[in-house]
Structure 1
Amino acid sequence: EEILDTWSAFMDFRGQAQKALEEARNAKVIGKSLEAHLTVYPNEVVKTLLGAVDSNVAQLLIVSELNIAEGTAPEGAVSFEDVAFTVERAAGEVCDRCRRIDPTTAERSYHAVICDHCASIVEENFADAVAEGFEAK
């Protein structure tokens, strides 16, 4: 029951975040949600909810970067009763593996243009392919 309540509340929060992303899309700040750096200005209830979700909230919201901010939202933020959002274009390049925009994205020695997070996964799980390289055939 508690898990259902938490995820139901999270889905309400996600709907609010999607509205903020849609406004940014309409204003041509971003094209798709993975281009977004989303800053959340939560009240204490939402802050507790985000901690209770115990997941990668950025991934659940399908954004490249997520920041949980303290204090009052700036003017121009998309505001709701319990939370406000600002949306900016994420910094960095698109990772060929996860498609997130990340400042650590770079071409690796094995010819893959991926972020540090994906590089650690690839290097740990696909050592033979890393040794041979991923050149196009």
Structure 2
Amino acid sequence: MTVKHILDEKGREVVTVSPSMGTADAVRFLADNKIGAVVVTGAGGKIAGILSERDIVRAIASRGADALSAPIYDIMTSKVTTCGESHTVNQVMELMTKGRFRHLPVEADGKLIGIISIGDVVRRRIEDVEREAEEIKAYIAS
């Protein structure tokens, strides 16, 4: 299964924020949208970074409550790993495991077209394994 299949099933809607948004506002945004990370976009919708709950926790741990008054460009992860629609579930799992992150923006022609989470990937991988098991059972039974 590929990222394209995941996005076709899940949808391609991605909420984004501006790098100048305040961290306290971003915290509320994450909570209101029930998400663990948000893609930060700059001019022309280009990916400028990603802000995750982990980024916020690290900022508060190092700066204290003052971190909440900083703009998110001060605390976001600016070096963002992305994938394309042709990436397989296994490739994406490897990227996420190596990078130790749970959210992966999907790009096509330099534009943000979706985002997938580790939950999306694990769910699809389990479906693949279950389908393979059923196919093996049917083969053995025939």
- The answer to whether the superposition gives a TM-score over 0.5 is no
More RCO (CA 8 Å, sep 6+) = 2
**Which protein has the bigger helix share?**
2
